[in-house]
Amino acid sequence: MRIAVIGGGASGLACAIEAARAGAQVEILEAADRTGKKILATGNGRCNLSNADIFAEDYNRPAFVQEAMNTLPPEEVQLFFSEMGLLCYQEEEGRIYPYSGKAATVLDLLRLSASEAGAVERCGVRVAAVAAAKDGSWDVRMDDGSTERFDAVVVCVGGNPPKGLLPSDVACKQARPVLAALKCDTRAIKGLSGIRVRARLYLDVDAQDLRDAWLDVADPEHDDVSVGPETRGEVLFRDYGISGIAAFDMSRYVRPGQTVFIDLLPDMDPQEKVDFIYDTAMAHPDRTAVQVMSGMLPSRVARAVVVAAGLNPDEPIIAEQEAVVLAMVSESFGLEVKGIADPKQAQVMRGGYAVKQFDPHTMECIAHPGLYVCGEALDVDGRCGGYNLHWAWTSGMLAGRAAAGIAWQSFAE
């Protein structure tokens, strides 16, 4: 059984290891001069390789991912690395890193394990097209015009597959960058660049202004069915808009022209915000609105909130209604999104081959037996925190075993 693994990234290396361990003759065809280069940049060079709390709902194609994880649960992916000899530890929010703190440690062990299993790396080889042969095998045509035949092909080319790589009936969705900083209208946040806050970001699909996002204060019985997805975590104000984990996650949902709302006090409910602001103002009547809000937020952020609320930042709060407005704005500080700040810095490309064409238990193309696609080349992406690398390992391992003709025995069984 001769298998071509096209692409030597995270999913490709995981695939190659499993297929070679199962007895297949595996060749990794990598266009770059070395396999796994992108792994070195993950997790700011530390490689956030998985998460202790992986759920299908963390992905854009939850049904497909759930079926894959039913076959290969997250525990087995962690065991894959443990048996490889990788020591890991867990940080906040379940993020799993190599104990060395170096992505190079993960890559070195993956390449070593692939070599030990018998997989061969062929770098500097660019594949132009894959086509089915009459005998059920697959012809792989290189950029230089040469063609080689393989019993099975696994495509692990990343998030923007080249046109014409696979048969024309295998639909491929146009890729767009996600998990990236957001370019926004910056008038409301001028002067805040470099300030970090812990916040909740959310969308309101019908929002016309800030008050539309906080109707439960004016009308506690209001049932707002228009509220969209939300994310939580660090938000970093920048000259161009917002960055940080919460902004990266929100980039998976928001489109240009929409308004993203920032809840700057995410651990307080609306009435708690009102009460705290008003009680503080009454207890300290000589404090200006900015001084009151600075007890809750960084001073420059506090000033931006007061200005957005339409109040004089250098005058005291004298009425409860002013506290209501300040609380409202602190929970629905709106920024119009212009787009992704720098597409080249995006962690993931959303798009790729449509999952409905593939078996989630094996990553095999339903219409073309012997052809597999995994990792970011499939239209699957998850939020920040190790979820995308976890998908790369999961899909690659499933494809590797299946391509080699070995059925998985579910850990859950």
DSSP 8-state code for residue 46? T
The pLDDT score that the predictor gives to residue 87 is 98
pLDDT in tens, 186-205: 999 999 999 999 999 999 76
* Nearest in space to 266 (alpha carbons), one of 331, 207, 318, 325: 331
Secondary structure of residue 385 in the 3-state scheme: coil
Q: Which residue has the higher pLDDT, 288 or 212?
A: 288
pLDDT in tens, 69-104: 999 999 999 999 999 999 999 998 899 999 999 999
The pLDDT score that the predictor gives to residue 283 is 97
The pLDDT score that the predictor gives to residue 50 is 97
pLDDT class for 32, splitting at 50, 70, 90? very high
Question: CA 396, CA 16: separation in Å to the nearest integer?
Answer: 8
The pLDDT score that the predictor gives to residue 221 is 52
pLDDT of 211 strictly over 90: no
The pLDDT score that the predictor gives to residue 361 is 97
CB atoms inside a 10 Å sphere around CB 51: 23
Question: What is the mean predicted confidence (pLDDT) over 17-27?
Answer: 97
pLDDT of 390 strictly over 80: yes
Secondary structure of residue 283 in the 3-state scheme: helix
* Nearest in space to 404 (alpha carbons), one of 71, 12, 96, 17: 17
Order of strands, edge to edge, in the sheet holding 127-132? 127-132, 138-142, 147-150
The pLDDT score that the predictor gives to residue 406 is 73
Q: Which residues of 384-399 are buried (b: 16+ CB within 10 A; e: fewer)?
A: bbbbbbbbbbbbbbbb
The pLDDT score that the predictor gives to residue 227 is 59
Question: CA 26, CA 154: separation in Å to the nearest integer?
Answer: 10
Which structural domains are found in the chain, ordered by start?
2-178+347-403 (3.50.50.60), 182-340 (no CATH)
Question: What is the mean predicted confidence (pLDDT) over 159-164?
Answer: 92
> Which residue, chain included where needed, has tokens 């009151």?
292
Secondary structure of residue 122 in the 3-state scheme: strand
- The kind and range of the H/E element at 304 are helix 299-308
Question: What is the mean predicted confidence (pLDDT) over 248-254?
Answer: 96
Q: What is the value of pTM for the model shown? A: 0.91
Mean pLDDT of all residues in the chain? 93
pLDDT in tens, 92-143: 889 999 999 999 999 999 999 999 999 999 999 999 999 999 999 999 999 9
- 10 Å CB burial of residue 240 (0-12, 13-18, 19+) is middle
Question: What is the mean predicted confidence (pLDDT) over 12-17?
Answer: 98
- List the Cα angle 19/34/73 in 5-degree steps: 35
The pLDDT score that the predictor gives to residue 222 is 44
pLDDT class for 226, splitting at 50, 70, 90? very low
pLDDT in tens, 262-319: 999 999 999 999 999 999 999 999 999 999 999 999 999 999 999 999 999 999 999 9
Question: What is the mean predicted confidence (pLDDT) over 181-186?
Answer: 98
